[in-house]
Homo-oligomer: A and B are copies of this chain.
Amino acid sequence: MYVSRKARRAVAGITRTRTCPPLLNDGGAVREVLDRISDKWSLLTLGALRSGPLRFGELEKAIGGISQRMLTLTLKHLVEDGLVSRTAYPEVPPRVEYEVTALGKTLVPLVIALAEWAIEHRDEINANRGCSPSE
C-alpha cells in the first residue's frame, strides 16, 4: 500500500466510477478501509493481540521481525482507527498495554480466518509460483 492515511483522509472519495455490483465498488468505503488495514503490519498486530492485551515489548516479540518504528506507527494508526486501545500505567518503569477494542474484536475473526486460509493454502500458492513448498 502506498497512499498515506493523511492524504487519503484528505481526498477520500476520488476515483469513483460505479459500474459494477456495489459491494466492492461503492465509491471508496471498502477501498478506504482496506487500505487502512492492508499495510505490512496492521493485521499481524491485530492478530497478535487477539488473545489478550500485550505490552509494547511483548508485541514486538509476538509479531517478530517488526521494527520499533513500525510497531509504534502501526499501533498509533490502530489506536486512531479505534481498533486498539492504549493504556499507560503511570509507573516506573513505564508500562503500556495495548488491547483490541470492541470494534477491533469484530475484525479479529476475519484476521484469523485470513491467517488460517494463508496457512492452509500456502503450499499450494508456493507450488503455483514454482517455489518449493514451505521453503
Contact = CB atoms under 8 A, between A and B. Distances in A.
Number of copies: 2
Main secondary structure, interface of A, reads helix
Given A33-B122, A64-B16, A135-B12, A1 B39 contact: yes
A72 interface: no
Contact of A118 (B12, B34, B82, B116): B34
Given A103-B124, A106-B117, A110-B114, A20 B82 contact: no
Interface in A16-56: 16-21, 23-26, 29-36, 38-40, 43-44, 47-48, 50-51
A112 to B, nearest CB: 7
Q: Which 4 A-B pairs have the closest CB atoms?
A: A15-B65, A82-B128, A17-B64, A33-B118
